[in-house]
């Protein structure tokens, strides 16, 4: 009995020793790693470092650099092949003072967060940016405020990064003297989320990039496009808002772009549109809202794109087909109170416009299957004439135009015969 008890005691003792040893090891290891990954503090005065560049030079890979509150007049801070974590607090400001770049990075596994950078140099020959990344993988740019930026983030040959919750604005007066807020070149697998970009040239620009995701961004009051694709295949943008830009989104020379749940609104002006599609193919456009744009979508040479469950509300032109577009499908979209639902030039080219809801539709549905019994012609005679002779737009809202539109509706002569919605919906599509 006694022996039994003591043996148990011994076992417990050994167990305790084991665990305390483990704890000791853990503490040592932690200390060790702590010593390995230091946090360097930078502040305006009375600190180990008073300049960010010094701290960066002294830091080892894996270190963090905490930039305390204050204004740092520095430019061209260069992080060369070091995985660092720069972070600031409220009021940590880097003032570039119009002397080139803010931070230049060529490294993997790093992050820059909670900073304000302002006054990027404006140049007509160099693309000066607040943060310039070159060949960077696995990075994170978060909660950075850029003011008076020329280019905001200029990211080249990089991948697997996250760019989120940044606020980027410029003061450019013309397209030539301003840059893009987020400029991606030859980069892939980036996630751009929850950013607010405004008063720049392009809100977000991407060239030669693939598998990137743009979500929940707000791009407004930019001089050119809210979001601009060039030669970039297989990207997706969703849940973004593009407002009051010269044009909401321009997708050019790209394939397989997915566009869903975005809002394009108030892109209003003589040469403005919500979405410009130029030489693109195989995309999906769904659940978007186009509201109060001069032109909702301009499609120029776009092929095999499915448009479904989008709302086109109060646009000048809802959709404008310029030419060279094949096999596009419009179905289950709502066309509500647009001046012109469709402007179309050229042949039908296998584009189809069946089963949409058109607020201008005046037909009836006798068999109650929710499809109108009379086909709808989305192209009005006047919109056809304007296409042929642009000057005739000056007769907009004239009584004569209403009369010819009506007579054309009754007996179509000029408008393309096959361009009809054979099954116009009787009630709005809910999506």
| 367 belongs to the binding site for another protein (CB under 8 A) | no
For residues 148 and 320, which CB has a smaller minimum distance to another protein in the complex? 320
Pick one of 270, 362, 368, 411: the residue that binds another protein (CB under 8 A): 270
Residue number, 314 or 423, with CB nearest to another protein: 314
Nearer Cβ to another protein (268/286)? 268
Among the residue ranges 130-138, 195-203, 268-276, 361-369, the one whose residues contact another protein (CB under 8 A) = 268-276
Q: How far is the CB of 270 from another protein (least distance, A)?
A: 5
Q: Please, what is the minimum distance in Å from the beta carbon of residue 229 to another protein? A: 25
- Residue 399 sits in the site that holds another protein (CB under 8 A): yes
Stretch that binds another protein, among 49-57, 98-106, 155-163, 394-402 (CB under 8 A): 394-402
- Asked if 406 touches another protein (CB under 8 A), the answer is no
Q: If binding is defined by CB under 8 A, does position 383 make contact with another protein?
A: no
Contact map string, positions 290 to 319, toward another protein, x by CB under 8 A: ----x---------------------xx--
Q: How far is the CB of 275 from another protein (least distance, A)?
A: 17
> b/e string for 106-128 if b means 16 or more Cβ within 10 A?
bbbbbbbbbbbbbbbbbeeeeeb
Residue of the chain from 208, 253, 268, 371 that contacts another protein (CB under 8 A): 268
44 is a site residue for another protein (CB under 8 A) = no
Q: Pick the stretch among 134-142, 165-173, 302-310, 386-394 that binds another protein (CB under 8 A).
A: 386-394
Could you say whether residue 271 binds another protein (CB under 8 A)? yes
Q: Is 181 in the site for another protein (CB under 8 A)?
A: no
1, 3, 366, 394: residue in contact with another protein (rule CB under 8 A): 394
Q: Contact residues for another protein (CB under 8 A)?
A: 268-272, 294, 316-317, 339, 385, 388-401, 403-404
């Amino acid at each position: 009995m006694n022996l039994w008890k003591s043996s148990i005691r011994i076992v417990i003792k050994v167990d305790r020793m084991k665990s305390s040893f483990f704890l000791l090891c853990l503490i040592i290891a932690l200390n060790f790693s702590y010593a390995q990954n230091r946090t360097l503090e930078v502040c305006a005065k009375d600190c180990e470092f008073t300049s960010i560049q010094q701290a960066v030079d002294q830091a080892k890979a894996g270190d963090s650099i905490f930039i305390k509150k204050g204004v740092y007049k520095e430019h061209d801070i260069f992080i060369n092949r070091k995985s660092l974590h720069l972070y600031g607090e409220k009021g940590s400001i880097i003032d570039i003072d119009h002397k080139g770049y803010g931070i230049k990075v060529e490294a993997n596994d790093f992050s820059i967060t909670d900073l304000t950078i302002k006054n990027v140099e404006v140049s007509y020959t160099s693309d000066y940016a607040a943060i310039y990344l070159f060949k960077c993988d696995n990075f994170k740019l978060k909660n950075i405020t850029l003011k008076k930026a020329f280019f905001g983030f200029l990211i080249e040959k990089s991948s697997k990064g996250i760019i989120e919750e940044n606020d980027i604005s410029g003061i450019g007066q013309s397209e030539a003297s301003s840059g893009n807020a987020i400029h991606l070149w030859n980069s892939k697998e980036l996630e751009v989320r929850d950013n607010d970009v405004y008063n720049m040239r392009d809100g977000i620009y991407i060239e030669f990039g693939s598998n990137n995701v743009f979500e929940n961004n707000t791009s407004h009051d930019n001089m050119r496009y809210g979001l601009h694709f060039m030669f970039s295949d297989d990207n997706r943008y969703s849940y973004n808002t593009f407002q009051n830009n010269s044009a909401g989104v321009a997708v050019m020379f790209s394939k397989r772009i997915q566009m869903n749940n975005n809002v394009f609104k108030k892109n209003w002006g003589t040469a403005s549109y919500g979405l410009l599609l130029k030489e693109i193919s195989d995309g999906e456009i769904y659940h978007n809202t186009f509201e109060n744009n001069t032109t909702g979508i301009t499609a120029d040479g776009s092929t095999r794109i499915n448009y479904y469950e989008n709302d086109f509300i109060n646009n000048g032109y809802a959709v404008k087909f310029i030419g060279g577009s094949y096999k596009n499908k419009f179905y289950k979209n709502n066309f509500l109170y647009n001046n012109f639902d469709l402007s179309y030039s050229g042949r039908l080219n296998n584009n189809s416009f069946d089963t949409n809801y058109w607020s201008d539709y005046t037909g009836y549905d006798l068999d109650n299957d929710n499809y109108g019994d009379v086909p709808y012609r989305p192209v009005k005679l006047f919109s056809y004439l304007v296409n042929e002779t642009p000057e005739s737009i000056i007769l907009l809202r004239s009584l004569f135009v209403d009369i010819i539109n009506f007579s054309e509706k009754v007996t179509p002569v000029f408008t393309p015969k096959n361009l009809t919605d054979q099954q116009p919906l009787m009630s709005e599509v809910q999506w």
